[in-house]
Amino acid sequence: MEMIAVNYFIPYYVNDVQSDDRGIKCGWYTMDECGKLGFGPFSTASECLGTGSQAKNAPTSKWLH
């Protein structure tokens, strides 16, 4: 059986506390199916969703862990 990877992204809001813990700015970020944050911050969830297809093709070095 062949396994096929499926990538999807959801908008995730990083609040003040999470921002301090992660050392990143508050705002909306793309989050993959593994819970890794990608591009951001964006000012709105809809702006964040507009980047999903671009984020899917991004090099892994740009992902925040």
- pLDDT, one tens digit per residue, over 33-57 is 888 998 999 999 999 888 544 544 4
Say what the pLDDT of residue 45 is. Answer: 92
Going from N- to C-terminal start, the domains of the chain cover 9-58
57 vs 52: CA distance, rounded Å? 9
**Cβ atoms of residues 25 and 42 within 8 Å:** no
Q: What tokens were used for 14?
A: 């990083």
41-64 in b/e form (b: 16+ CB < 10 A) is: bbeeeeebeebbeebeeeeeeeee
| pLDDT at position 60 over 80 | no
Query: Which pLDDT band holds residue 30 (cuts at 50, 70, 90)?
Result: very high
Overall pTM > 0.75: no
